[in-house]
Amino acid sequence: MNIGQAAKASGLTAKMIRYYESIGLLPSAGRSESGYRQFSAQDLHTLAFIKRSRDLGFSLEEVGKLLQLWQDRQRASADVKALAIEHIAELNRKIAELAGLRDTLQELVAHCQGDHRPDCPILKDLESGNCCHGASVAKERK
């Protein structure tokens, strides 16, 4: 099938497929006599693997490692599990960071009167440029 058909079947864009091919996640596709890329059922299987990995938040580097492990029938499942555990730790770090951002913004919103006056602790905090002191500034305003 051509790249448009492969894109439709895989749920990826043709641009992403070309990109994955250019960085080596996907082997170079065969070409038709007219030079168009031709994708096999195995290519679609690999694209589905890549898409699912990306949907789970794995980086392109991690996807490359997962692909190597997937294609290596002699691999130890412990290697795959270790990679997944590392990814979970990174997800937990990001979740904690996002929770901290949410908490800071909630503090700022709680201290904003939201009335007709121009005073606004949210804008004052943004003006300060200090990414990490919003919650403490909001607490000082109590």
Asked if 6 contacts 39 with a C-beta cutoff of 8 angstroms, the reply is: yes
Tell me the longest C-alpha to C-alpha distance in the chain.
Answer: 73
pLDDT value at residue 117 = 85
pLDDT value at residue 129 = 84
| Phi/psi of residue 59, nearest 5 degrees | -70, 165
Q: What is the DSSP letter of 126?
A: H
Nearest to 105 by CA among 85, 128, 79, 126: 126
Domain 1-59 indexed as CATH 2.60.120.260:
no
Q: What is the distance between the alpha carbons of residues 36 and 14, in angstroms, rounded to a whole number?
A: 12
pLDDT value at residue 132 = 57
pLDDT value at residue 131 = 63
Rounded average pLDDT per 10-residue block, the chain, 142 residues: 95 97 93 91 96 97 97 96 98 98 94 88 88 49 40
- Going from N- to C-terminal start, the domains of the chain cover 1-59, 76-142
